[in-house]
Amino acid sequence: MSEREKILGRIREALKVKAPRPGSHGDPLVQAAAEPPVSHARDWLPSVGASVEEQFAMFARNAADLKAEFQLFAGRDELRAALVSLCAAEKWRRIASHGGELTDFACQAIGLPVTLTDRGYDVQAMEKCDAGITECDALIAQTGGVVVNSRGAGGRALSVLPPHHVVIARREQLVADLPAAFARLQSKYAPDFPSMISFITGPSRTGDIERILVLGAHGPKKLTILCL
């Protein structure tokens, strides 16, 4: 008998004795609701405003709490100007990015040599880049975070290896809360999900030394979210 069969056998044997459902106080007649327990999660998680303006305001507040930069632009000219000044202020010399409508625009605006990840890349070269520029799947008002994936955001390393992660997003990508973000991912990709989906909530951090917050533990020290 394989280990798989042995383990599954032990599980089935163990589950012959029923455990009481939480909240049933041992009453076997208490039945689960037909819908999954988390289907009302939206009513319990932190509240989010109904209008898009309120949601952007909340996203901005949450991002600021997380020490991420967030800017909302009226048009592409403003975005271009912001990228140029960011590049000058941080003295970037080389950036990494991936092919995409927004990232192509950003790389062109910055005008520096680019390590593109789309057809494979040299890890050492990416490590020496000053910033990684990606698109994303969603911005989440409730958390102030973004969602990236390995197919649409230049692979697994681009959003964590360079010291500054810049996300270029569109307004329509804002979702109110976490349940909406998961629903969007599921409807967009299921069953063929990208091999990695990452919810990024602020720049990399650690509190492992005396519980004092330090940014840039392993991943980027800075996270900038620029939204058109």
Partner 1 sequence: MSSFVSQFKTLAGEKTRDLRHRQVIRTALRSYEVVRDKRKAAFQSWEFARQAAAETKWEAVNHLDTHLEALVAKLEARGTKVHWASTGAQACAIIAQILRDQKAHSIIKSKAMTSEEIHLNHALEQEGFTVVESDLGEFIVQLRHEPPYHIVFPSMHLTRGEIQDLFQKELGDAPSDSPEELTMVARRVMRQKYLTADVGFTGANFAIAETGMISITENEGNARLTAALPKTMITLLGIEKILPRFADLALFLPMLATAGAGQPMTCYNTMYSGPRQPGECDGPEAWHVVLLDNRRTELLADAEQRDALHCIRCGACLNVCPIFRNVGGHTYGTTYSGPVGSVITPHLRGLQDWKHLSNASSLCGACTEACPVKIDLHHHLLQNRRNASVSEPAFFERLAYKLFSIVANEPKFWSLAKKLGWLTQPLQKAVKGSALDPAKAWTKTRDLPPMPKESFKDWWRNRK
State the nearest-atom distance from the C-beta of 104 to partner 1, in Å.
Answer: 16
The two three-digit tokens of residue 144, written as one number: 């102030």
Alpha-carbon distance of 145 to 153, in angstroms, equals 15
Q: At what angle do helices 76-89 and 101-110 cross, to 10 degrees?
A: 50
Q: How far is the CB of 164 from partner 1 (least distance, A)?
A: 13
Residues in 86-105 at the binding interface with partner 1, rule: CB under 8 A:
98
112 part of the interface to partner 1, by CB under 8 A? no
Residue placing its CB nearer to partner 1 in the complex, 111 or 207: 207
User: Under a CB-based contact definition with an 8 Å cutoff, are residues 167 and 131 in contact?
Assistant: no
The DSSP-derived string for 97-127 is: E--SHHHHHHHHHH-S-EEE-TT---HHHHH
Q: What is d(CA 59, CA 144) in angstroms, rounded to the nearest whole number?
A: 5
Site for partner 1 in 170-189 (CB under 8 A): 177-179, 181-183, 185-186
* Of 103, 115, 117, 173, the one binding partner 1 by CB under 8 A: 117
Q: Return the residue of 28, 29, 75, 124 that touches partner 1, per CB under 8 A.
A: 124
**118 counts as binding partner 1 under rule CB under 8 A:** yes
Helix or strand run (H / E) with residue 131: strand 131-134
Cβ proximity to partner 1, 74 vs 208, nearer residue: 208
Answer for which of 27, 41, 76, 171 binds partner 1 (CB under 8 A) is 41
Shortest reach from residue 41's CB to partner 1, in Å? 4
Nearer to partner 1, 112 or 123 (CB): 123
The first and second tokens of residue 10, run together, are: 């032990």
From 57, 123, 172, 188, residue interacting with partner 1 (rule: CB under 8 A): 123
| 81, 112, 125, 196: residue in contact with partner 1 (rule CB under 8 A) | 196
Which sign does the torsion angle of CA 197, 202, 204, 210 carry? negative
For residue 151, which of 215, 108, 196, 116 has the smallest C-alpha distance? 196
Per CB under 8 A, the segment of 70-78, 79-87, 131-139, 151-159 that binds partner 1 is 151-159
Convert residues 43-82 into a mask of x (bound to partner 1 by CB under 8 A) and - (unbound). xxxxx--------------x--x-----------------
| Of the residues 4, 28, 74, 187, which one makes contact with partner 1 according to CB under 8 A | 4
Contact 179, 131 (CB under 8 A): no
What is the b/e burial string over 9-34, where b = at least 16 CB atoms within 10 angstroms of the residue's CB?
A: eeeeeeeeeeeeeeeeeeeeeeeeee
